[in-house]
Amino acid sequence: MAAIDVLLPVKNGIEFFAESLDSICNQNFRDWRLLVLDHGSTDGSLDLAHEYQNRDARIVVHSFPDAVGLAGLLNRGLDLCDCRYVMRHDADDIALPDRMDITLATFREQPDCIVIGGQSPMIDGAGKDTGFVTVPVDRNRVTAAAFFRNPIIHPAAMMDFAAMQKIGVRYGADFLGALPVAQSVVVNGLAEDYFMFGQLAVMGRCANTPQPLIKYRWHGGNVSTVRFQEQLQVSLQVSRFLARSFCVMHDLPYFDPAPFCNLGGLLLDVGGQTDFAAEFEAMAEALRRGLGTSDELERELAYRKVVSTRNELALLWRYYQFQSRYAPETGEWNAVRSWLIRRIPGKNTIMVNPDREARNGKT
C-alpha cells in the first residue's frame, strides 16, 4: 500500500505523455503508485505507458476502453486504489517536484479537508509560460466560489481516500443526496470534476494551497477548447444543482446562480436581463444565512455584485472599484472583458434561459 495513488487518465496523449510521466517519477516524495488509466488510445500512448511500467514497479497500467466518459474512467481508477491519498494528474501537465510534499503538508495542517488543490502556472504546447491560474485558498472562499465556477484545478488536486469512501464520493454522482431523484443530475464528462468538488465544497471540505503545484498545459487539444459550448452548459447545470442542494440543506429559498457565474471565464446572457440587483440581494442573503458571515464570503460577494449588472459602463466602473480593493483571481477580469467586447464581430454571447424556479423562489 502506497501513501499516494496517482490517477492518470490518457487517451491519445502521446505528444506530452512522457514529460507528464517523468514529472511524477521525479517527485521528491517517493511513496507513491501511479495508475495509468488508458481510455482506448491508438497513438502509442498505451505502449509508452507499458515502457514506463517496465522501468518502475510503482507504475501500473490499466486499459478501460469501454469506460463511460472521464467520470467512468476515473471511477474505475478509484476502484483500484489502496492508499491514504488519491492524487489526480493529467497526461499533458507537469507536476512540480515538491507537489506531493506541499499537498501532504497542507493536509496535516487541515486534516478535516477531503480535497486539497493549489495554484498553477500555465504553459503552451511548446512548454512556454503563458500565464498563471489562481484559485481561492481559504475553504470559506472555496465554498462560496463553488456556486459560480469550479474553484479547484482538477489535475492539481489530492483527495483523502478514506474520507471519500466514508461518504461515498464518486465522480459523476450526487452524493449530497439533498434533492429528490427527479431533480438530481449525473455528470459523466466535461464537468465531472466541478460536480464532485462542488459538492465537497458545499460541505466545507475543500481548500487550496497558495503554492503552485503543477504546470497546466493549455493547447488546442484541451477538452475545454474543443467542446467549450457543451462544457459551459454542463457546468451551468452543476452550478444550479449545487445552489438547489444547498438551499434545501439549509431550508433557504432557491437562488439562481446563473447571472453571477463566470464559468469558462464568461458572463452569461440570462434572458436578456441587464439588472440583477434584486436577485443579488436574495442570493447574498441566502449565502450569509447558510454559510455564516466571514471576510472570505464578503470578498466573493463583492465580485458577484460587480457582475450583477450587464450595463457596460456600470460593469467596468464596478470592476475598477473591486480590483482596487481585492486581488482579482483567474477568470474574474476575463469574464468582465468578454462581456465588454461581445459586440465585436466573431465574439459570441452565451445565452441561457432564466431558471423559472429561481424566479418563483422555489426549492
Please say whether the beta carbons of 114 and 143 come within 8 A: no
- Predicted pLDDT of residue 252: 98
Using the CB atoms, write b or e for 267-284: b if 16+ within 10 Å: bbbbeeeeebeebbebbb
pLDDT class of 355 with cuts at 50, 70, 90: low
pLDDT tens, 202-218? 999 999 999 999 999 98
| C-beta neighbour count of 229 within 10 angstroms | 9
**Strand (E) or helix (H) holding 318:** helix 312-323
Q: Which amino acid makes up residue 66?
A: D
C-alpha 215/C-alpha 156 separation (Å) is 9
Q: For residue 316, what pLDDT band results from cuts at 50, 70 and 90? A: very high
How far is C-alpha 343 from the chain's CA centre? 29
Q: What is the distance between the alpha carbons of residues 256 and 261, in angstroms, rounded to a whole number?
A: 10
CB neighbours of residue 346 within 10 Å? 5
Can you tell me the distance from the alpha carbon of 134 to that of 328, in angstroms, rounded to the nearest whole number?
9
| Whether the Cβ atoms of residue 139 and residue 67 lie closer than 8 Å to each other | no
pLDDT at position 229, please? 87
Got the DSSP string for 117-174? Answer: EEEEEEE-TT--EEEEE----SHHHHHHHTTTS--S-GGG-EEEHHHHHHHT--TTS-
> 332 is written with which cell numbers?
474574474
Checking if the pLDDT of 167 tops 90, the result is yes
Domain spans, the chain: 2-228, 252-360
Integer Cα distance of 353 and 106 in angstroms: 41
Element (H, E) at 206: strand 206-212
What integer pLDDT is reported at residue 350 of this predicted model? 63
Residues 119/209, Cβ–Cβ less than 8 Å: yes
- Short-list 191, 212, 338, 350, CA closest to 272: 350
Q: What is the mean pLDDT of residues 82-95?
A: 98
Domain 2-228 falls in which CATH fold? Spore Coat Polysaccharide Biosynthesis Protein SpsA; Chain A (3.90.550)
* Contact indicator for 219, 92 with CB cutoff of 8 Å: yes
For the chain, give the percent of residues with pLDDT over 70. Answer: 92
CA distance 305 to 313: 15
Q: Locate 102 and state its grid cell.
A: 506541499
Closest CA to 70 of 55, 42, 91, 56: 91
**DSSP character at residue 348:** P
Amino acid in position 99: R
Asked if the model's pLDDT at residue 121 lies above 90, the reply is: yes
Report the candidate in 4, 81, 2, 11 with the shortest Cα–Cα distance to residue 49. 11
Q: Which DSSP category does 350 fall into?
A: P
Do β-strands 115-123 and 269-270 pair in parallel, antiparallel, or remain unpaired?
Answer: unpaired
Report phi then psi at 264, rounded to 5: 65, 20
Give 54's contacts (C-beta < 8 A, 6+ positions apart). Answer: none
Q: With 70 as the cut, is the pLDDT of residue 360 above it?
A: no
Q: How confident is the model at residue 357 (pLDDT cuts 50, 70, 90)?
A: very low
pLDDT mean over 140-153: 97
Judged on CB neighbours under 10 Å (0-12, 13-18, 19+), 186 is exposed
In the prediction, which pLDDT does 39 show?
98
Report residue 185 as a C-alpha cell.
Answer: 443530475
pLDDT digits (tens, 9 = 90+) for 218-229: 876 655 556 888
* Confidence check: pLDDT of 190 > 90: no
How is residue 312 written as a grid cell? 457596460
Residue partners of 235: CB distance under 8 A and separation at least 6:
149, 150, 190, 191, 194, 261, 263, 264
| Burial class of residue 335 (count of CB atoms within 10 Å of its CB; 0-12, 13-18, 19+) | buried
